Amino acid sequence: MSSPTDADVQTTDTTPTPATPSSRQLVVLISGSGSNLQALIDAQNTPALPNTSIALVLSNRKAAHGLVRATTASPPIPTAYLALQPYLRSNPGKTREDYDLELARIVLREKPDVVVLAGWMHIVSEPFLEALRGTREVKDEGQEQYESSSNNDENSVPTSPIPVINIHPALPGQFDGANAIQRGYEAFQRGEVDKLGVMVHRVVAEVDRGEPLIVREVPIEKGEPLEVYEERLHRVEWEIIVQATKRVLDEVKPLPLEGTENA
Ligand code: GRF
């Protein structure tokens, strides 16, 4: 197995993250602008997401602006970057499944309570989900295949399943997959659907089909520009991604009663 080439990697911030009192940890996966990540960054350790911090932001695109949002947050959030094609080029014989298990390994090292897919444009596979459920062991092969500014290099197998949730800009069963905003907008303008919306759902291997956690309709008007609808939709996303994350955290790791030790 070879290491990633210089062309595949770039130096990231290695500033140690100050110790945090947060007892609940998120790992957030992104591919792009990271506006939903920003909503989570802003909500950390506030009443919207009490006693919660983001342990790691993982991107599959080097140029994802969300990585900049993470490294410039206060305190800075560790980041990692691993893209499929450079991984496959650097590791002849490795497969898409190996890549997905490497992603799972990076996530598991942080021992998150919840994993949030916030604009993650890579189909989550069953092996990845099995690793997060703890039904599939992922061995640490002892060689870093990715670029990371996280200080946490422990190998880990979860002791209980780690929930994975995803934000998708459509109502349940509508417009699965990529470009859902534009496809929904065009379908509405053609009169094929009469309502549109966004949801946060639990992740299963079938794309955008896991159990919805929060569903919100987004108003749309005939003839309004796509950009106007899109802006309205994103504002709803920024609210529900935080609400759904809190709901799932409260299921898996409720806050301790005041005066008791953090779990
Ligand atoms: C969001 O609209 C999300 O619903 C979709 O991709 C977009 C990501 O935006 N899956 P951002 O990177 O969070 O700004």
pLDDT in tens, 231-240: 999 999 999 9
Find the radius of gyration of the CA atoms of the chain: 19
* Integer Cα distance of 57 and 35 in angstroms: 13
167 CB within 6 A, ligand 1: yes
How does residue 145 score in pLDDT terms, banded at 50, 70 and 90? low
Cα 127 to ligand 1 centre (Å) = 24
pLDDT of 146 > 80? The answer is: no
Q: Output the pLDDT for position 156.
A: 60
How does residue 14 score in pLDDT terms, banded at 50, 70 and 90? very low
- Asked if 65 is an active-site residue, the reply is no
- The atom number, within ligand 1, closest to the CA of 38 reads 13
Using alpha carbons, select from 61, 73, 75, 210 the residue that is nearest to residue 147.
Answer: 61
- 32 by DSSP, 3-state: which? coil
CB 164 within 8 A of CB 203: yes
Mean pLDDT confidence for 84-110: 96
Counting DSSP H helices and E strands in the chain, the numbers are 7, 8
| Pocket mutation for ligand 1, best pick of 28, 35, 121 (most atoms within 8 Å of C-beta) | 35
pLDDT of 144 > 60? The answer is: no
Cα 207 to ligand 1 centre (Å) = 15
Q: 1-15, 42-56, 163-177, 211-225: which range is least confident on average?
A: 1-15
Q: Output the pLDDT for position 138.
A: 87
76 CB within 6 A, ligand 1: no
191: region left, alpha or beta (phi > 0 left; psi from -120 to 50 alpha): left
* Share of residues in the chain with pLDDT > 90 (%): 76
| Pocket mutation for ligand 1, best pick of 237, 241, 245 (most atoms within 8 Å of C-beta) | 237
Q: Output the pLDDT for position 1.
A: 32
* Integer Cα distance of 143 and 1 in angstroms: 9
pLDDT of 142 > 80? The answer is: no
116 CB within 6 A, ligand 1: no
pLDDT of 168 > 90? The answer is: yes
* Integer Cα distance of 90 and 70 in angstroms: 26
pLDDT of 9 > 70? The answer is: no
* Integer Cα distance of 78 and 62 in angstroms: 14
38 CB within 6 A, ligand 1: no
In whole numbers, what is the pLDDT of the chain averaged over residues? 88
| Pocket mutation for ligand 1, best pick of 40, 67, 234 (most atoms within 8 Å of C-beta) | 234
pLDDT of 167 > 90? The answer is: yes
CB 59 within 8 A of CB 30: yes
pLDDT of 215 > 70? The answer is: yes
Residues 6 or more apart from 220 whose CB is under 8 A from it? 185, 188, 195, 196, 229, 232
- Residue 71 φ then ψ, to 5°: -70, -20
Which of residues 155 and 116 earns the better pLDDT score? 116
Does the reported pTM lie above 0.95?
no
Strand order in the sheet with 24-30: 147-148, 79-81, 52-59, 24-30, 114-117, 164-168, 196-202, 212-218
How does residue 207 score in pLDDT terms, banded at 50, 70 and 90? confident
* Integer Cα distance of 110 and 27 in angstroms: 7
pLDDT of 19 > 60? The answer is: no
Cα 118 to ligand 1 centre (Å) = 6
